[in-house]
Amino acid sequence: MRKHAVLITVLFALTVTLVSVSVVFWKFFQLNKQNYINNIFTKHAIITQIYQQHQQKVDSQIMLEANLAVYNFVLEKDEKDIEIVLKNAKILKKKDFQNVNSSLLFSGNGFYTKQIVTDLTATMLEFNRKIYFYLQSPSSSVLILDEELKPYKYWNVAYSYLVIIFIISVSFVLILRKLRPLIRLRKKIALYGDGDMNVSFKANGHDEIALVSNELEATREKINLILESRTLFLRNIMHELKTPIAKGTIATQMLESQKQKDRFSSIFGRLESLVNEFALIEEVTCMGDKTDFKEYRLVDIIDGAIDMAMIERSSITVEVDAVHKINANFRLYTTAIKNMIDNGIKYSIDSHVKILIKGHELAFESRGECIAHPLQYYIEPFTKDNPSKNSFGLGLYLVDSILKAHNQVLAHEYENGINRFIFA
């Protein structure tokens, strides 16, 4: 999920925006519709006035119809139609009124005014896309149709909503299209990190992503040029060094003094070992292509390392089952184990190393004092505890470099007089 964090963020923003706009438009639609109904109800208060006057004056139904016709209102008279409308219509608004009827009466005390208050209920209905007004009083009721009035039309709001949703969707599609080069760029960077030195970051365009891609392309070319120059320089240096070392080794055999012969043989031998270790370091640090990595049994790699170390089998105890396998470069991983064997025998008090699997990890145990410095000190090049030891201080540095190329790290722990180095 972390790989697509930007894409997920954009999609989340799109979802939140669409939901927010939808909620706002829904609320606006409800409010607008209610305002429309309220305005109609208020404007059609004349219907209630006409009906109230009809009740007060006790006019005929013909007079009521005539008064309603002036405003294009139609009085529904068919009982079946009235029943259907009242049963199936949707109530839009309902309001109660009080009708006050004043009458002048005579009694023994003279004339007096009598007021009769009658409750009146007005209901606005919608049925078959027509608007009706149903007026009820305790004594009678009427259903009135407005022939000109139409129900609320929501198309204007829906059209505006769809236009805005379309604009937002198109905007986010354009954003996602702009992010596609970024996704491709990430994949190319991953390929370059895996060792494909010929991958091209070049991009067309003048936006920020294209500028970053072109800068990466220029940087890639510079890095490749530096790596090629470095590789060529190191290989030439090592080749030029091997020639005089070989000549010096041959010339050493011509010396008459055995003491001088042994001294020069040791010097040229150390020089040759140093050049070989430099060659391994150059190979490890420049290794990007892992096509030569294959699956091997750990016991086979350990046997190869023991043979390379040229030590007695009695100095090694191996407790590794044949079922344990690893995907590795055989020669480099063998060299790493060989260096650990040499290091363990050299610094142990009994010249013995035990190789075992501890917690699904390869471990090397040897008896001796705990290392004097943190492990990080020893994996730096040309560092060692005892300068008198026959070493260049590159052993653990080379081991650490090989393990990093295999996506592993070197760890150390000390327990009950045992130094334990672990390939974790």
How confident is the model over 368-385, as pLDDT tens digits?
A: 888 888 878 877 765 655
Burial label, 17 (beta-carbon count in 10 A; 0-12, 13-18, 19+):
middle
Pairing state between β 316-319 and 353-358: parallel
- Lookup: tokens for 129: 């896309």
- Lookup: tokens for 139: 């004594």
Residue count (the chain):
424
* Backbone region of residue 351 per phi and psi (left: phi > 0; alpha: psi in -120 to 50; beta: other values): left
pLDDT at 104: 46
Strand ranges in 184-329 using DSSP code E only, listed in sequence order? 294-297, 316-319, 325-328
- Of the two residues 63 and 83, the one the predictor is more confident about is 83
Between the alpha carbon of residue 381 and those of residues 127, 309, 377, 399, the distances in Å are 92, 21, 9, 11
* H or E stretch at 122: strand 110-127
Half-sphere exposure (Cβ direction) of 147: Cα atoms closer than 13 Å: 9
List all residues 6 or more positions away from 143 whose beta carbon is below 8 Å from its beta carbon: 75, 76, 82, 85, 86, 132, 133, 134
Mean pLDDT of the chain: 77
pLDDT in tens, 233-265: 767 776 666 777 777 777 777 777 777 777 777
Measured between alpha carbons, how far is 407 from 290 in angstroms, rounded to an integer? 11
CA end-to-end span of the chain, whole Å?
Answer: 26
Domain boundaries, the chain: 2-36+156-183, 45-148, 211-285, 294-423
pLDDT in tens, 74-120: 888 788 888 888 888 888 888 876 655 554 444 555 544 544 445 77
Strand ranges in 210-350 using DSSP code E only, listed in sequence order? 294-297, 316-319, 325-328
Residue 364: CB atoms within 10 A of its CB come to 20
Average pLDDT over residues 25-42: 80
Q: Give the single-character DSSP code of 197.
A: T
pLDDT in tens, 97-106: 665 555 444 4
Least confident of 61-75, 231-245, 279-293: 279-293
203, pLDDT greater than 60: yes
356, pLDDT greater than 50: yes
Confidence of residue 323 (pLDDT cuts 50, 70, 90): confident
CATH architecture of the domain with residue range 294-423: 2-Layer Sandwich (3.30)
Least confident of 148-162, 195-209, 281-295: 281-295
Confidence of residue 3 (pLDDT cuts 50, 70, 90): low
Residue 179, helix vs strand vs coil: helix
pLDDT at 149: 73
Residue 190 corresponds to which amino acid?
A: A
List all residues 6 or more positions away from 329 whose beta carbon is below 8 Å from its beta carbon: 287, 290, 292, 293, 405, 406
- Global pTM reads 0.47
